[in-house]
Amino acid sequence: MACSSYKDSDINKIKLKELNGQSIDLSQYEGKTVFINLWATWCKPCIQEMPTIESAQEKLKNENVIFLVASNEEVTQIEKFIKKRNYSFHYVHLENLEALNVQALPTTLIYNQEGKLKFSETGFRMWDDPKNIDLITKIMNDHEK
């Protein structure tokens, strides 16, 4: 049995809200791998990366992984972006970008089933590339240690 609870885990450093303003309790994802991509509407590498994230999300749709795309921009900006693009993402609003010490966008964070940060990277990545699907899968299977 783990001595620390999900509520004390790394994932709770992130404060997210639904676009309607409702706070997101990340403990609802306990037992799941959580992939969070931090992006902005003005960030060209972020936008270039999105089709690969959507493809990875599709490839892993039957797996125990949640994909969230988070921006700290005004909700109206995010909503305008959503209307122009046809992605099936769970878009969320990031409340505390500064507290996360993120140096640049895009930044991707992947948490294991216990809410521990297992991967953090700034920059563009082809998320649907087999080696990156494998990376996500390895994190999904990384628990009980």
- For 24-72, what is each residue's pLDDT tens digit? 999 999 999 999 999 999 999 999 999 999 999 999 999 999 999 999 9
Q: In which band, very low, low, confident or very high, does the pLDDT at 3 lie, cut at 50, 70 and 90?
A: very low
The two three-digit tokens of residue 136, written as one number? 């996500």
- CB neighbour list of residue 50: distance below 8 Å, 6 or more residues apart: 39, 69, 85, 87, 89
Give this prediction's pTM: 0.93
Number of continuous H segments (helices) and E segments (strands) in the chain: 3, 6
Residue 145 has pLDDT above 70, yes or no: no
CA distances in angstroms from 47 to 9, 25, 106, 107, listed in the order given: 30, 27, 9, 12
% of the chain with per-residue pLDDT over 70: 94
Q: What is the pLDDT of residue 143?
A: 63
Residue 133 reports pLDDT greater than 80:
yes
Domains, in order of start, for the chain: 19-140 (3.40.30.10)
